[in-house]
Structure 1
Amino acid sequence: MIQTSLLDDEIKSLELPIERDQFLRTIIRELAGTLQDVVGIEEAAGFLNVVGYRTGQHVNQIYHNGLQLSNLSREQVTAVLVDWKRRIQGDFYVIEESDEKIVLGNRRCPFAEQVEGREAMCVMTSNIFGAIAADNLGYARVELKDTIARGAKECTVIIHLKPSEEVEEFAGQEYFKI
């Protein structure tokens, strides 16, 4: 019994890069990677679309409750998107904001290095942003122009707020108020 206690103490004293946040990011990375490898990036993104959209609805409700509002203005939506990413250790900032679009930059992904090479993980951001923007403003098309996952130094995310023929030319996912 003494031997086991000494071994336990020795193992507990090790300084290892193991903690909950890193563990959860690793699980999501491996899940996204496995999906990408098994079913392809488009299908993997489809699975993660569902998870991201449901998460977006949940995050939206948290902010509605916190602000005691049933609907958010465009300015509030922008502030919520930046704040939410900050709270999960992203570094998003506003590049441009108008009635037509919200353009956000990002210097640090919440998934950190785990996102590299896992483009499907970016659909989480797209869906959460799209769900929040569409639920409050009626419509959103989220374009992931640049992403750290694809090797860019920073992300650029464009949230188009009005459908238009011009917007049809851009890649992106559309979202509508339910």
Structure 2
Amino acid sequence: MTVQLRQARLDRLEAVDLNLDRESFVLKLLRDLSGTIERVVGEEDAGGYVATVGGMMGEWLNAAYHDGLGEQDFDIETVAQIFVDLKRRIDGGFYVVAIEPDRIVLRNTRCPFGDNVIGRPSLCMMTSNVFGRIAADNRGYARVQLLQSIARGDRECHVEVHLSPRNGLEADEREYYRLRPSAVPADR
């Protein structure tokens, strides 16, 4: 094959109109992977796998925010703003609805996974675990409730992060406990 023929074939391939870049490839990969896991082990167990990764992501993000903002445990206002900021950075549309002494209420109009999340509710465990891990490691405890989600066909997500334990969990809740030692000095 001549160099000219090889270059002509490459030029022809490059001219093909494909919606293919690293981001679209990774999102399609996540969608297909989560769908496969949901079909093989069921939605609940698939959510458990995603939750494990989400917990690791939550630890990583929490450490990154502490590196940037300081070692002190974050107050509830800062935790809420971290949730919004981290989702903004990955193209999510989260915003705070309410901050109360024992809970943070958030809504989301745009999932970071885009349309790839539709029909893949196990991917919502990423949000639950990232939020739960950050809240618990800064406030001591978190219970995350996913009341609505784009993945389940809702128009937007409705997430509540409760900071006080209670007896029993609803079906749409997960509990998180502090993993890292408190950064707050003992005299506080």
Query: Is the shorter-chain TM-score for this pair beyond 0.5, marking a shared fold?
Result: yes
Look up the match of 1:8.
10
Aligned length, in residue pairs: 177
- Cα offsets for 1:85-123 (capped at 9, x unmatched): 000000000111111110100000000000000000000
- Cα offsets for 1:43-97 (capped at 9, x unmatched): 1111111100011000111111111234211111000000000000000001111
RMSD: 1.2
Inter-partner Cα distance in structure 1 for 2:86 and 2:47: 21
Deviates more, 1:100-109 or 1:16-25: 16-25
Q: How does 1:54-65 map to 2 (within 5 A)?
A: 54-65=56-67
- Cα offsets for 1:11-30 (capped at 9, x unmatched): 12333210111111111111
Letter aligned with residue 101 of structure 1:
R
Letter aligned with residue 87 of structure 1:
R
Inter-partner Cα distance in structure 2 for 1:100 and 1:68: 23
Identity of aligned residues (%): 43
Inter-partner Cα distance in structure 2 for 1:169 and 1:112: 27
Inter-partner Cα distance in structure 2 for 1:150 and 1:173: 17
Letter aligned with residue 9 of structure 2:
L
Structure 2 residue matching 1:149: 3-state secondary structure: helix
Structure with the greater alpha carbon radius of gyration: 2
Structure 2 residue matching 1:32: 3-state secondary structure: helix
Letter aligned with residue 47 of structure 1:
Y
Inter-partner Cα distance in structure 2 for 1:170 and 1:38: 22
Look up the match of 2:121.
119
Q: How does 1:79-98 map to 2 (within 5 A)?
A: 79-98=81-100
Q: How does 1:10-159 map to 2 (within 5 A)?
A: 10-159=12-161
Letter aligned with residue 84 of structure 1:
L
Deviation at residue 170 of structure 1 after TM alignment: 6.1
Structure 2 residue matching 1:142: 3-state secondary structure: strand
Give unmatched runs, 5+ long, in structure 2.
180-188
Structure 1 residue matching 2:96: 3-state secondary structure: strand
Inter-partner Cα distance in structure 2 for 1:171 and 1:15: 42
Structure 2 residue matching 1:105: 3-state secondary structure: strand
Inter-partner Cα distance in structure 1 for 2:9 and 2:169: 62
Letter aligned with residue 148 of structure 1:
I
Give unmatched runs, 5+ long, in structure 1.
none
